[in-house]
Amino acid sequence: MPDPRKPIGVGIVGLSATGGWAAGAHLPALRTVDGIELRALAASSEASAQTAGAAYGVPAYTSVEQLAGDTNVDLVVVAVKVPRHRELVLPVLKTGVPVLCEWPLAVDLHEAEEMERAAGTTRTFVGLQGRSSPTFRWLADLVSEGFVGDVLSATVVASSTEWGTPVSPDMVYTLDRKLGATMLTIAFGHAIDLVSMVVGELQDVVATTATRRRQVPLGRTGQVVPMSAEDQIAISGTVAGGAILSVHHRGGAASGAGFSLIIDGTEGRLDVTSAEFPHIGPVTVRVARSGGRPTTVTPPSGYDGYPALTGTVIHNLAHAYAAIRDDLVHGTTVAPDFTHAVKRHRLLDAIARSATTGQRQTLHSFDK
């Protein structure tokens, strides 16, 4: 366990001097949170490592083993493309250094389970930062405390502009279902994790999916590239307690990205909306009780540790890093780990099997 008197030292795999998610989100989030800081990085080549190390003023390595071996590194963050997660995470786990891996954890359930087993007693974390959202933590409390009474149903309609609109060359891999970085795993996966946090886990699921666009424009080249990833996902099932959950997620939406969650209960209704992905964008909550007019509400004080970041992509990530810091220092288990990631991968796997077989899948038997 790290010395609570010293900041948690972080080493990031995938922190580039030329930008990207690690530079644009992880680094500013780390700079916001007290008690945790960047100490080192690893890149795929000597040249890129040295350039990034000079840019950020930290030691730079060309392997995850070297990064994990740095005595100033207490947490390795793997922030690269999904197909490389397994090959980078497993060597770090062998060293016993805690790992934060971006979501999706793996390309499929089999890989995710392998990574969970390999972790053993090593502390692990997964990048489902939406679970640290002040708004969604508050919503989960509202529902569990009976604000809307008994939940009768939850309805989600979501859309992504990706998976149908022109794709850049470096994102073509997200169109291949086998590479594990699809609309089902990324956009839908993040969203269903938040919904499950609020209304409970699905006990069973039936799904219909489709790839309506088999070809996608490659930027502005005039060329097209094949897409096997689903761009239409519709599911329904029963959550614990008997409420019905239905979700329709659409890809390549001409109207833009969006998210809507309506929770109907015996005593009220919650209407949750976002013009972006809810795990990284601002969220609006409206409530109506006993036939009253809908009213916009916000979380009470105490949920948001970083109110100045509201509306930014790093708001929830900063809260996630704060939770990880506290878990490492105090031995708590607030931030989602690899076991939670496997649970989410099991749901996605059940959805894919239901869509293939046309049969309802039971989920509680897969939970540990």
Domain closes at, from 130, 146, 169? 130
Distance (Å, whole) CA 293 – CA 12: 48
pTM of the model: 0.96
Domain closes at, from 130, 164, 191? 130
Residue-number span of the structural domain to which 105 is assigned: 8-130
Residue pLDDT, tens place only, 311-348: 999 999 999 999 999 999 999 999 999 999 999 999 99
Residue pair 230/177 in contact (Cβ under 8 Å)? The answer is yes
Assign 139 to helix, strand or coil. Answer: helix
Domain closes at, from 73, 101, 130? 130
**What residues are paired with 82 via a beta bridge?**
none
Residue pLDDT, tens place only, 155-206: 999 999 999 999 999 999 999 999 999 999 999 999 999 999 999 999 999 9
Instruction: Please tell me whether residues 211 and 87 are part of one structural domain.
Output: no
Assign 150 to helix, strand or coil. Answer: coil
The CATH number of residue 123's host domain is 3.40.50.720
189-199 helix and 338-357 helix, angle to the nearest 10 degrees: 110
Assign 264 to helix, strand or coil. Answer: strand
Distance (Å, whole) CA 213 – CA 36: 44
Instruction: Please tell me whether residues 290 and 156 are part of one structural domain.
Output: yes
Instruction: Please tell me whether residues 139 and 281 are part of one structural domain.
Output: yes
Residue pLDDT, tens place only, 56-78: 999 999 999 999 999 999 999 99
